[in-house]
C-alpha cells in the first residue's frame, strides 16, 4: 500500500489515520465492535463524503489518500478481507488484487493462504493414491484375467505392440518408453507360460515383478531419458516385494485395493479437519500479533503527544 505522496512529501493526516491499526474503521467512522454484520449502506455513505474531499481532481485532494480510501471501503465490504483485517488490524494485501476482492464480494469464496496450502496438499495426495489404485486394478486385471486366457492375452500383446510402434513413430530417443511395452509383454508371456493357476512359481513371480516394475515406472516417470541407477534399483526392489505379496491371488489384490480406497476416504475426510485446525492456529497467531501492533501504536501516540 502507498504510504506517502509520489513526490516524497509528508503523508497527509488522513493517510496516517488510515494506515494506523484499525484505521479503516476509525476514518470511515464505522463502529468495529457494534456488530459482526457488514453495514454496506453506512460504509458507502461515509465513503462518498470522504471521496469527494480527497479526490485528486478536487482542490486539496490527494491521489494516494484517495486510493487508500478506496481500499479501505473495499476491505470493509468484503467478508474475507474484513475478517483478516479484524484479526490483525492491518491490511496486508495489495490493492492490485481488486479483481479477486470483487469476486469474493459477488459471492465467490477465495481461499486463504492456509486453505490454499491444505488444498494443494490434499490434491497431491489424493492424486497419488488414485494413480496407485488405477495401477493396482490394471495389474490385477493382467494377473488374474489376461495371463490366464489366450483370447485376452493375444489382444493385449497386440495392443502393446501398437504402443511400441506409436512410441517409435514419435521418435522417443533414449527413453525406456520404447522398450516398456515389450517388457510388459514379456512379463505377461512369462506369467502365462508358468503356473498361472496357482501363482506360486518363481517364473510367475518374476514375470509379475517385471509388469509391476513397468507400471510403477510409467506412473512416476516424467522425462523420456533413461532412469538413473537409483530409480532402477528402487523400482526393482518395490516390484519384487509387491509381486511377492500379490502372487497372482485375487484376495491379495482385493486387500490392497480396499486399503487404497480406505486411504483415499481418510485423506478426503482428514484434510478439511486439518484445514480448520491450521486456520485456527494462524488466526490465533495473527490475533497476538495484532494486539502487539495496536499496543505499540498506542504507546507511540502517547510518546509523540508528550513531545508536542
The pLDDT tens digits of the residues spanning 211-224 come to 998 888 776 665 55
pLDDT band at 257 (very low <50, low <70, confident <90, very high): very high
Average pLDDT along the chain: 78
pLDDT band at 1 (very low <50, low <70, confident <90, very high): very low
Instruction: Say if residue 33 is exposed, middle or buried (CB neighbours under 10 Å; 0-12, 13-18, 19+).
Output: exposed
Number of domains in the chain: 2
Sign of dihedral through CA atoms 165, 166, 167, 171? positive
Q: How far is CA 217 from CA 91, 223, 279, 289, in A?
A: 48, 11, 37, 48
125 and 245 fall within a common domain = yes
Candidate ranges 49-53, 162-166, 278-282; pick with highest mean pLDDT: 49-53
When pLDDT is averaged across residues 142-156 and rounded to a whole number, the result is: 89
85 and 172 fall within a common domain = no
pLDDT given at position 282: 79
pTM of the entire predicted model: 0.57
133 and 237 fall within a common domain = yes
Instruction: Say if residue 73 is exposed, middle or buried (CB neighbours under 10 Å; 0-12, 13-18, 19+).
Output: buried
pLDDT band at 262 (very low <50, low <70, confident <90, very high): very high
Out of 11-15, 114-118, 134-138, 180-184, least confident range:
114-118
122 and 221 fall within a common domain = yes
Domain presence at residue 173: yes
d(CA 52, CA 11): 19
Domain presence at residue 287: no
Domain presence at residue 50: yes
d(CA 141, CA 261): 17
pLDDT given at position 104: 42
59 and 185 fall within a common domain = no
Higher pLDDT, 238 or 166: 238
Compute how many other C-beta atoms are within 10 angstroms of the C-beta atom of residue 187.
Answer: 26
53 and 170 fall within a common domain = no
179 and 234 fall within a common domain = yes
Higher pLDDT, 11 or 44: 44
Q: How far is CA 123 from the centre of its chain?
A: 6
Instruction: Say if residue 182 is exposed, middle or buried (CB neighbours under 10 Å; 0-12, 13-18, 19+).
Output: middle
pLDDT of residue 206 exceeding 80, the answer is yes
pLDDT band at 251 (very low <50, low <70, confident <90, very high): very high
Higher pLDDT, 301 or 99: 301
Compute how many other C-beta atoms are within 10 angstroms of the C-beta atom of residue 213.
Answer: 23
71: domain CATH number? 1.10.287.110
Domain presence at residue 53: yes
Residue 164's domain comprises 115-265
DSSP H helical ranges for the chain: 13-19, 23-27, 40-54, 63-77, 79-88, 98-105, 113-144, 150-169, 180-193, 202-220, 229-246, 250-307
The last residue of one of the domains, among 60, 94, 110, is 110
120 and 259 fall within a common domain = yes
The last residue of one of the domains, among 49, 83, 110, is 110
pLDDT given at position 114: 56
102 and 149 fall within a common domain = no
Cell 505379496 found at? 245
Domain presence at residue 306: no
pLDDT given at position 254: 93
257 and 151 fall within a common domain = yes
Candidate ranges 4-13, 32-41, 137-146, 195-204; pick with highest mean pLDDT: 137-146
pLDDT given at position 169: 62
The last residue of one of the domains, among 110, 133, 154, is 110
pLDDT given at position 258: 94
Domain presence at residue 296: no
pLDDT given at position 2: 42
Amino acid at each position: 500500500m502507498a504510504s506517502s505522496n509520489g513526490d516524497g512529501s509528508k503523508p497527509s493526516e488522513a493517510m496516517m489515520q488510515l494506515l494506523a491499526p484499525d484505521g479503516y474503521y476509525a476514518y470511515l467512522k464505522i463502529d468495529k465492535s457494534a456488530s459482526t454484520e457488514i453495514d454496506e449502506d453506512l460504509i458507502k455513505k461515509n465513503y462518498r463524503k470522504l471521496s469527494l474531499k480527497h479526490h485528486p481532481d478536487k482542490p486539496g485532494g490527494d491521489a494516494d489518500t484517495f486510493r487508500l480510501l478506496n481500499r479501505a471501503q473495499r476491505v470493509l465490504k468484503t467478508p474475507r478481507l474484513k475478517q483478516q483485517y479484524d484479526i490483525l488490524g492491518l491490511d496486508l494485501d495489495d490493492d492490485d488484487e481488486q479483481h479477486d476482492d470483487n469476486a469474493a464480494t459477488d459471492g465467490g469464496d477465495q481461499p486463504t493462504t492456509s486453505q490454499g496450502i491444505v488444498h494443494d496438499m490434499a490434491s497431491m495426495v489424493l492424486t497419488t493414491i488414485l494413480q496407485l489404485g488405477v495401477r493396482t486394478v490394471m495389474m490385477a486385471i493382467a494377473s488374474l484375467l489376461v495371463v490366464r486366457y489366450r483370447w485376452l492375452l493375444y489382444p493385449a500383446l497386440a495392443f502393446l505392440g501398437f504402443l511400441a510402434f506409436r512410441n517409435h513413430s514419435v521418435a522417443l530417443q533414449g527413453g525406456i518408453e520404447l522398450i516398456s511395452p515389450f517388457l510388459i509383454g514379456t512379463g505377461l508371456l512369462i506369467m502365462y507360460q508358468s503356473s498361472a493357476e496357482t501363482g506360486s512359481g518363481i517364473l510367475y513371480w518374476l514375470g509379475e515383478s517385471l509388469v509391476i516394475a513397468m507400471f510403477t515406472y510409467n506412473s512416476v516417470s516424467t522425462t523420456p531419458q533413461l532412469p538413473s541407477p537409483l530409480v532402477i534399483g528402487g523400482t526393482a526392489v518395490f516390484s519384487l516385494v509387491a509381486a511377492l505379496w500379490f502372487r497372482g491371488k485375487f484376495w491379495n489384490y482385493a486387500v490392497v485395493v480396499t486399503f487404497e480406497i480406505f486411504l483415499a476416504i481418510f485423506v478426503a475426510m482428514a484434510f478439511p479437519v486439518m484445514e480448520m485446525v491450521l486456520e485456527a492456529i494462524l488466526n490465533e497467531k495473527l490475533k497476538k500479533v495484532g494486539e502487539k501492533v495496536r499496543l505499540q501504536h498506542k504507546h507511540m501516540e502517547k510518546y509523540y503527544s508528550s513531545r508536542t
